[in-house]
Amino acid sequence: MKIKKVTLTLILTALALGGLVYFYEIRGKQQQAKIEEERKQVFDFESQQIQSINIKQESERLTLIRAENEGKKNWKIASPVEKEADLVTVEFLLDQITELKSDRTIKTLASQLSEYGLEKPEITLEVKLQDGKTQRLFLGQPDFDGSHIYSQLETSVKPPEEVSVLLLSVNFKNVLTKPVSEWEKQEKPESESDKTEESTAQEDEPKTSNDQPSSAPENSPSPTE
C-alpha cells in the first residue's frame, strides 16, 4: 500500500510540475509573442471605422471617401477627379492599412529626421475615422537595400525630442502610389457570351427570297437529231 501511495504522489507531483512548465514556459512565450506582434501594429482601428483616406504626394493628391448609395456602402474618388472608386481595390487598401506592421523601430532625435527623409516626407497618408479623429503616417526615403521605407506616425503638433522611426515594407508604398486610373471603377467589357448570343440570333434570322435558290428545274437541251 505504501508503494502505491508513493507512486500516486510522484504522479501528482509530475503533473503539477508539468502544469507549471506549461504555464510559465509555453503559455508565457505565446503571450510574449502576441505582445510583440501587437507592438508592431501601426494603426489601432478597424477598416469599418475609416471614413476617408487622403494620399498626398508632391505631384498629386488622391482622396477616397466612403459613400452610401441605395443602402449599400461603397467608395468614391473625390480628388483629383470625381468618380466611383473600384471597391475591390479600395478594400485591398483598407486591409493594407489596418494590418500594417513595422518590421523594426528605430529611436532617434527629432532633429535627425532629415536623415530618414522624414523632415519633408515624400508621402503623407491621412486617415479620417467616423468619430472625427484623424491619424497621419509620413513616408520618407527607402533604407540601404530598398526593401523598406522609413516612416513616422504623427504624435503631436510639436514633436518630442526623441521619436520613433518605423521600417515598413516597400510594398506598402507601391500600393499608395498607384496611378489614379487604377482606383477608378472599371466598366465591364461586353462578355463573350453576349457576343455569341448576338451572332446566333443573326444566323437564325430567315433569309430573304432573293437569297433563296430557284426551285424550278432547268430545261434540258433537246437531243440533236
Averaged over successive runs of 10 residues, the pLDDT of the chain (225 residues) comes to 63 70 61 57 94 93 86 86 94 96 92 93 96 95 94 77 92 94 81 53 53 48 46
Predicted pLDDT of residue 133: 94
Predicted pLDDT of residue 22: 65
Strands (DSSP E) found in 132-204: 134-142, 148-153, 162-169
C-alpha cell at 100: 500594417
pTM for the model: 0.68
Taking the domains of the chain in order of start, what are their residue ranges? 1-29, 47-182
Predicted pLDDT of residue 99: 94
Predicted pLDDT of residue 193: 47
Predicted pLDDT of residue 28: 56
Structural contact between residues 151 and 122, judged by C-beta atoms closer than 8 angstroms:
no
| Cα angle 28, 30, 34; round to 5 | 115
Give residue 15's identity as a one-letter amino acid code.
L
